[in-house]
Structure 1
Amino acid sequence: MAWEVFSIVGTIAFALSGAIVAMEEEYDLFGVYLLGVVTAFGGGAIRNILIGLPVSTLWGQEMMFQIAMISITIFYLVPRYFVKHWNKWGNFTDAIGLAAFAIQGGMYAVSLDLPISAVIVASVLTGAGGGIVRDLLARRKPLVLRAEIYAVWAAFAGLIIGLEIFTDDLFLYLLFAIITTLRVASYTKHWKLPVRKLNLNI
């Protein structure tokens, strides 16, 4: 049950995140759908390549594609007043997508009996990959490279799932809430990782 829930939540959240960015960049209707779909499925495609699965695996997710398209359509028709605040809605939907897909990616790797290192990588790529593709297509600096802590939370989710200490659905939902909260706290409280600058002009 948890697998389906996180798949649906992640798909909707990242589809809306991509649609928001497209609308911010004043893309036409086709561009909104394209960026939304790429954001929702880009991370999964990258993950599949790196863990040895064919990209065509994604084409078996017809229901998820339909969910993404319906979500984007509904969002596109929402009055502009409710969708114009990117800093509030865009970051929040991205945080939800990051948490849901990081957990889903980790669960997927565990189901394939991959080592814990692969589980962590799968969580990071599934959770952050779609956002990276979205930002690059929109010519924005990817969130994963910005100051606030981002992909670390996906790696943390992968580590917890890879340890397989707790596997029941209730714990996974709790982990989802924790990862989402930590990501929101990162950009609201400006939590940052250490940065080392090199002055090559010396």
Structure 2
Amino acid sequence: MHALAPKPAALSWEQAAALPLTGLTAYQAITRVLDVRPGESLLVHGAAGGVGSMAVQIAVARGATVLGADAADRAEFLRGLGATPVGDDEQVADRVRTIVPGGIDAVFDTVGRGMLARATAAGHDVTRYASTVDITDPRTRPVFARLVPADLHAVTELAARGHLLPHVGAVLPLSEAADAHRLAATRHGKGRIVLRIGA
């Protein structure tokens, strides 16, 4: 029973299914690994993705200023989450310095591919880096979701209070699980892929 939490009434079953893994990963990254506090600034790479979008919402709910690095066509989506979009090209560091001249406090990377180097260029004295994908740099603290009942309940409470909304990009029947894996591998979707069991 320690792995269960009440479904937030405001969420659909598909949204609720998308909540635990991404929610726990993001929650533990923001609150435990990076310990993002009110008034601090956070840069999230892959901010429109499943984990990234959850991290943005959790950090915003904690009173942080959030900069979201992701494709330019996802800028409005990021603004809707409460983040300031900064793109994901080679000018990210320049945009971040313009928005937060004093430097960012923490970086959460869900993308890899050299994003830490860009984040380093963007911050003056960034001391807190966390990543779900790039753990080769000794400055980076890895993030892996752990089933902590208190954290699971905290995530569902945030959703119940309207501070956390999982974004579902596609819902497929269980018989199309292979297609779901192929879609996930393209990394071009926005939101989680959910498999529906039964009718």
Pairwise TM-score range, normalised by the shorter structure: under 0.3
- TM-score with structure 2 length normalisation? 0.26
Which structure features the higher share of strand residues? 2
